[in-house]
Structure 1
Amino acid sequence: MTKKMRVAYAVVFALILAALTFAYAAANTVPVTYAGDGSSITSGYTVSNVHYVLDTTNPANISQVTFSLDAPANDVRIQLVNGGAWFSCSTAGTSVTCNVSGVTVLAANTLRVVAVQ
C-alpha cells in the first residue's frame, strides 16, 4: 500500500468519525423550560398578584408572601432583603405561598423570586 493510499484512508476515516460525532451531538435536545433569575429581562416566569401578610402578633414583621406564577413550578424560593435569607415556598398549580420569619417591613427592600420547573 502506498503512502498516498494510507493518507487517503486516514482522511476518509477522520471524515466518517467527524460525521458520526456531529450526528450524535445533533441528536441531543434540550426541552423547553421556564428559567430565569435577576432583575433584568429574562425568559422565565411572570410573577403577579403579590401579597405580603403581616404577623398577627407583631404587624411590623412579615409572616408570609403569596403570589401567582404564569406556569406551575416545582421549586420556588424568595428573598426579601438583599443578601439576606432565602425562604422555601409551597406551590399549588400556579399559586405560591412562602412562610417568612425574621423579616421586618422596614428591612424588606426586594422581592427576588427564583423558580424552577
Structure 2
Amino acid sequence: MIARLLGLVELPDWVRHVVDVLAGVLLLAIIVGFWLRAHDNAVIDKHEAKVSQQVQTMSSAGAADASAVVAQSKQEVETSNAKARTAAAGSDDPLRAGLDSLRHDNPPRPAAH
C-alpha cells in the first residue's frame, strides 16, 4: 500500500511488501518514540515534584534553625551589652570597664572558613 502511494508499482511484489513492512516498522518506531518521550517526561516531572518537595521541607527546616540561632545570638549580645553597661556604670573609667566586660564575655574566635 505504501509502495503504491510512493509510486513504486513497477517493482516486484516482494519489494513492495518489504517497503510496506519497513514503512510499518518506521511508523511503529515513531509512535513508540513519542510514547517513550511522553512517559519519560511524566517520570521526570514526578521526580522533580518529589525533589522540589524535599528541598522545600529542608529549606523550611533550615530557615527555622537559622531563626533559632539568630534569636539565641541576639539574646547573648543583649546580655553581654547589659553586663557591659552595668560594668561601665559602676566604674571610674566607664569606657574601659565596658570594653573589658565585652572582651571577657566574647573571647576572640578563630576565623571561619
Question: Whose relative contact order is higher, 1 or 2, with alpha carbons under 8 Å and at least 6 apart?
Answer: 1
Q: TM-score scaled to structure 1, two decimals?
A: 0.36
Greater per-residue helix proportion: 2
Structure showing greater Rg: 2
